[in-house]
Structure 1
Amino acid sequence: MRVPSGLVFPESILHSELFAVLATFVAINTVMYAALAIVKVLPKLYPPAWLRSRRERSETRSIHPDMPS
């Protein structure tokens, strides 16, 4: 059995609106999965930790004055 080289579908199918919609769906799906994979690889960010809470003192009250607050 000989497999044809080149396009398997006729050219009319490749230029149809249904094929364009399917190709768009596959492209968006691929981008979404790639974005989710990248987000999973990156370390977690905790934005509330960037701000000083009310429970933290602005100055250290340690017996070691060189320690950071």
Structure 2
Amino acid sequence: MNQGQKDKIISTTTGLNITGRGFLVPDAHGSTSRPGVFASGDVVLGTRTVVEAVKYSKEVARAMDEYLRSIG
């Protein structure tokens, strides 16, 4: 199976900062340039090890939870 960034979300969602290689640019907690939109996984990191992906995704999940609690 071919892994790579998900072009559809990048090409169909306005207000997202992307790199020259087509990856999303979130902050350290996965928050993108569009408020309330978080990103993790191949669309941010490219293909990495499972350990790296899980570590980053856990941080993003915490940030998403905090964000949702703050607006709830």
What is the TM-score of this pair, normalised by structure 2? Answer: 0.35
Larger relative contact order (CA 8 Å, sep ≥ 6): 2
Larger Rg: 1
What is the TM-score of this pair, normalised by structure 1? Answer: 0.36
